[in-house]
Chain A
């Protein structure tokens, strides 16, 4: 199979996020980036499919801080080829990013009859919508999102899509197709740092030159801001033993102790 995984870097929300002075973007000074979580699952799903059916896994990303590490990590895990598009991801809305990636996949030979494009289902910052359906629309390919399992056979994929309340459903699509991956069938594999270092020494990252989008953001963003600390929670303070005592009182008040 010809498997593509699209990798996007997002700010790590464990760090404090601040809005820059223009009120339009995040203050980049203290931002730490990490791979968008569903993309890690998309990579795992691609590697599982390759192990079963053979083929190649190509990871594709726009330029972003720390993206090289992420691309080498993908190669160390079993990816075959890494492509970086030297257009900065920062400041691009989903529509513009989708336009760039659609141009990449429109190149002759990129999409073969046994191709699956595996973006993550959704990222935490996609104010303009998700890339996977936009890409599918641009390439006129079938799309299913919130996918949590993929089986392939005879030019078709049988996929599991999540609904709510633990309910899931099976769909069948003919390849080539775009699947927004929410989670892989198995937890993403771990790769030792030594293997990543080895990949950094032996492997290369290809680049694909493409025209930058002429309209980076589609929406008229008036401002970004932090939510007012509504402060509805009554904060319980003190050493762990004191906190525990007070929580036991709360539990007793709700008649569960």
Chain B
């Protein structure tokens, strides 16, 4: 695996996203194990000031072009293909995020490199690069081997520590001139997050409900518990998609990242896209009828049981405890 490792830096509104540093940290470990250099790719008209923050890379390659600002996956992939050719990179790391979704697949289509999705761990041992991915909502893992360490790997946020990819040094930067086609999908405007009645990112206690809550009416059981605890109700995507709670209450990849003191995960399976948004809660209590639900692998306390049965009892017990 002598070819360089190239990390696609991800930015949202002019700021580098954490996933960039997570990948640089993971890339550095691979670079040490394999002897390959670690490069970062930075695209867009505001590349220069951001490049200085990528000191964990041996070198930063920028393509500065306004067409690359908020560009669709196809435009980004074409520029990235240009950088892969320019740097002779063998391994490309990019974020398994809403921002980067599709870029890896497009790059695979244009470069012939295989793509490994949903990756949580990468090892380089005895000359073999192995990627471990999380499939089926976290219920199954897969190990994929990449021949000669060549491929595109889409990395889950939260899989690697951020700090390992942060470095004070200023990296050398090379500006690469590439022809960039006008994007076929044109950015018009941001639609700001709805400001709901409560800001779930500011709560000490969150009562999270998932599909296991079963009906809109049952959400009231969670509201009752949240009220007695002085917290708020939030939810996984299916509950929001059903319209049972407003978008401002969604936790996870597309929704909010929350860090309450206590997070109750009620009827939530613990899919990686939900876990991403609540993994840093100080105490996670999961209630699920399925003893094999992935949420139990990460929660601090677990109850195998029916939330509909437990919720009213728990609310009453708290009322009683508060009265004493």
Contacts and interface: CB of A to CB of B under 8 A. Distances in A.
B185 to A, nearest CB: 4
Given A146-B98, A167-B192, A171-B185, A133 B105 contact: yes
Contact of B262 (A19, A26, A254): A254
Contacts of A37: 238
Nearest to A40: B241
The binding surface of chain B is classed by DSSP as mixed
B231 interface: yes
A125 interface: yes
Interface stretch (A66-74, A104-112, A198-206, A220-228): A220-228
B188 A171 contact: yes
A173 B229 contact: no
B5 to A, nearest CB: 19
Interface string A237-257: 100110111011011101111
B105 A129 contact: yes
Interface stretch (A57-65, A84-92, A158-166): A158-166
A222 B134 CA distance: 14
A232 B99 contact: no
Contacts of B303: 235-237, 243, 247
B285 A221 contact: no
A11 B109 contact: no
A234 B256 CA distance: 26
A12 B298 CA distance: 22
A162 B254 CA distance: 6
Given A127-B133, A167-B193, A244-B317, A227 B188 contact: no
A26 B142 CA distance: 11
Contacts of B190: 167-170
Contacts, number: 278
Given A127-B117, A252-B321, A16 B140 contact: no
Interface string B102-125: 111110111000111110000000
B310 A164 contact: no
Q: 7 tightest A-B contacts by CB?
A: A166-B193, A142-B184, A233-B302, A129-B105, A137-B109, A133-B102, A133-B105
A34 to B, nearest CB: 12
Given A136-B106, A229-B296, 17 more contacts: A127-B116, A127-B117, A127-B144, A128-B108, A128-B117, A129-B105, A132-B102, A141-B184, A144-B102, A219-B114, A222-B143, A222-B144, A240-B305, A245-B317, A248-B318, A256-B204, A256-B230
Interface of B: 12, 70, 72-74, 77, 97-99, 101-106, 108-110, 114-118, 130, 133-147, 154, 184-194, 204-205, 229-231, 237-238, 241-243, 247-248, 250, 253-257, 261-262, 269, 271, 282-283, 285-286, 290, 292, 294, 296-305, 309-310, 313-314, 316-318, 321-322
Interface of A: 11, 13-14, 16-17, 19, 26, 37, 41, 94-95, 121-122, 124-130, 132-134, 136-138, 141-146, 158-174, 177, 180, 182-183, 186-187, 218-227, 229-237, 240-241, 243-245, 247-248, 250-252, 254-257
A146 B187 contact: no
A164 B12 contact: yes
A143 B72 CA distance: 7
A145 B72 CA distance: 9
A30 to B, nearest CB: 13
B255 A165 contact: yes
A177 B102 CA distance: 14
B116 A142 contact: no
Contacts of B253: 164
B307 to A, nearest CB: 10
B101 A172 contact: no
Contacts of A138: 109
A23 B143 CA distance: 10
Nearest to B249: A166
B302 A146 contact: no
B12 A220 contact: no
A240 B74 CA distance: 53
A226 B141 contact: yes
B74 A142 contact: yes
A226 B104 CA distance: 26
Nearest to B294: A227
A220 B317 contact: no
A244 B116 CA distance: 43
